[in-house]
């Protein structure tokens, strides 16, 4: 995953986008097991060497794809419009964050399952710290009587586990979304 991207040549940017789009399509249509470098290269219309040169490995490719979603969410939290971004009351921001994060997980279930099978990555760890600090800070504001760090970790746990992507894969996206927000709302006052 990369936060800030250096300028790319137009053809390199087109290839990168084609590769990521082909990977996303293979994940959505056939699942994580279908994402091989050969299949991605064929679907993207590039040579396999182009993918290896750009992403290094299948894991690097999947990390880049998940990074697009994760960094977009981080940017929305930091500078986007309320209620996800600054300016909304902390309880509204907390619900908006969990709604957006849950959507990211269930809308990309195959990618999330593949990601969970990979070894930890430094960029991913930095994002996990960011999410944890964000949730903790909001909980401290809205419920100072709680152990915000622990409650936040418990609220976040299902989002990083296999359960939600597997339920989404089984056609339960709407129920997962609704239930996750019910869990978060149960912690909020009033």
Q: How many domains does the chain have?
A: 1
6, part of any domain: no
67, part of any domain: yes
pLDDT digits (tens, 9 = 90+) for 70-88: 999 999 999 999 999 999 9
Dihedral class, residue 73 (left if φ above 0, else alpha if ψ from -120 to 50, else beta): alpha
* Integer angstrom CA distances of residue 105 from 8, 93, 139, 144: 29, 18, 22, 28
pLDDT of residue 6: 64
Q: What is the CATH number of the domain that holds 127?
A: 1.10.357.10
State the residue range of the domain holding 133: 58-187
28, part of any domain: no
Q: What does the pLDDT average to over 83-107?
A: 97
């Amino acid at each position: 995953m990369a936060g800030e991207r250096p300028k790319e040549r137009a053809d390199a940017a087109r290839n990168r986008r084609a590769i990521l789009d082909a990977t996303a399509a293979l994940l959505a249509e056939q699942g994580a097991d279908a994402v091989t470098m050969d299949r991605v290269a064929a679907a993207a219309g590039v040579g396999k060497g182009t993918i290896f040169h750009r992403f290094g490995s299948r894991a690097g490719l999947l990390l880049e794809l998940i990074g697009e979603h994760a960094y977009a969410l981080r940017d929305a939290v930091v500078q986007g419009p309320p209620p996800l971004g600054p300016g909304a009351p902390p309880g509204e921001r907390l619900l908006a964050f969990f709604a957006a994060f849950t959507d990211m997980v269930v809308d990309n279930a195959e990618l999330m399952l593949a990601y969970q099978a990979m070894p930890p990555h430094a960029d991913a760890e930095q994002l996990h710290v960011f999410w944890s600090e964000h949730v903790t800070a909001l909980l401290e504001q809205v419920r100072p009587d709680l152990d915000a760090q622990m409650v936040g970790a418990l609220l976040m746990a299902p989002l990083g586990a296999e359960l939600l992507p597997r339920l989404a894969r089984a056609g339960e996206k709407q129920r997962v979304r609704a239930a996750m927000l019910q869990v978060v709302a149960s912690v909020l006052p009033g």
